Amino acid sequence: MTEIPYIIAPNPADPRLTRPITGIDHEGREQEIRVVEERPLTIFLNSQEIVTAMTIGDYPEYLAVGYLRNQGMLAPGEVPEAVEFDEELETVVVRTARATNYEEKLKKKTRTSGCAVGTVFGDVMEGLEGLKLPAAEVRTSDLYALAHVINTTPSLYLEAGAIHGTVLCEGARPLVYMEDVGRHNAVDKIAGWMAMEGVSPEGKMLYTTGRLTSEMVIKTALMGLPALASRSGFTAWGVEIARQVGLTLIGRMRGRRFICLSGAERLVRDADPATVGDEPRHLRRKAASE
């Protein structure tokens, strides 16, 4: 395990998250590799079935609460009365003090570009109206430090691929590192952790290994986080929404290079890029395949 003082760190050695599978390589030799697991998790809000997500299976309670929070089905600051996970039935039931009925909302699903098929609902943009993200500084020295630490942390992303990571950060310290087959699941786990643990978004940002899509931008903004960074690229709608809500959006973070397409006024350039080393070779190879 990593010695970095994460609150939650990846555990690539967890046997539940991968499976050994034998195949034949390019030279015709038999080779065994570990492949990421993918299993269904059905989320209920009180007595209503909301969605079935494909996930690696860790932190199901955080995933369920974060998903409901980011879809506007849990109000800001609302804490569930109970969160019940049944491993055998592969279900999580989130129970609230108030009665809920989202039958009409469920009719307006939009499939997104997220791996494993992300879903948002047609009225999700309403949650962004009048949204005011907290003031913050994003120091380039922190960006470089975070990229180095996160990219060298033992993870399923480095061990097996076919997965995305999302990290909640504060300054130069990564706090919670979640992984899943879909980047939307990874960010929902962090949203659920923040909601259930009562963690404020002030002074924090998200780092992701995946693309900066509209869904990622919307969820980051709904979580109240003022900045989102990635080693990957952007979608035009993701940039448009980030500019609309005033989210700092930083992408293509590789080595000393990055580009900010929204919220550059938060950047504090306190590090000389010339002093930053190149990205490790194995990460450059992964970047080429993303």
pLDDT digits (tens, 9 = 90+) for 164-220: 999 999 999 999 999 999 889 999 999 999 999 999 999 999 999 989 999 999 999
Report the C-alpha gap between 245 and 109 in whole angstroms.
22
Tell me: pLDDT of 281 over 80: no
Strand partners, 52: 42
| Distant-in-sequence, close-in-space partners of 256: CB < 8 Å, separation ≥ 6 | 144, 273, 274, 276, 277, 278
| Higher per-residue confidence, 268 vs 277 | 268
CA dist., res. 233 & res. 257, Å (int): 12
pLDDT in tens, 105-144: 776 665 454 544 455 555 566 678 888 898 899 999 999 9
Cα-flanking dihedrals φ and ψ of residue 173, to 5°? -105, 125
Closest by CA position to 65, among listed 89, 82, 52:
82
How far is the C-alpha of 45 from the C-alpha of 95, rounded, in Å? Answer: 6
Q: What structural domains does the chain harbor?
A: 138-289 (3.40.140.10)
> Whole-model pTM?
0.88
The two three-digit tokens of residue 68, written as one number: 């409901």
At a CB cut-off of 8 Å and minimum separation 6, what does 193 contact?
8, 59, 62, 66, 168, 176, 178, 199
CB atoms within 10 A of CB 244: 15
pLDDT at 123: 59
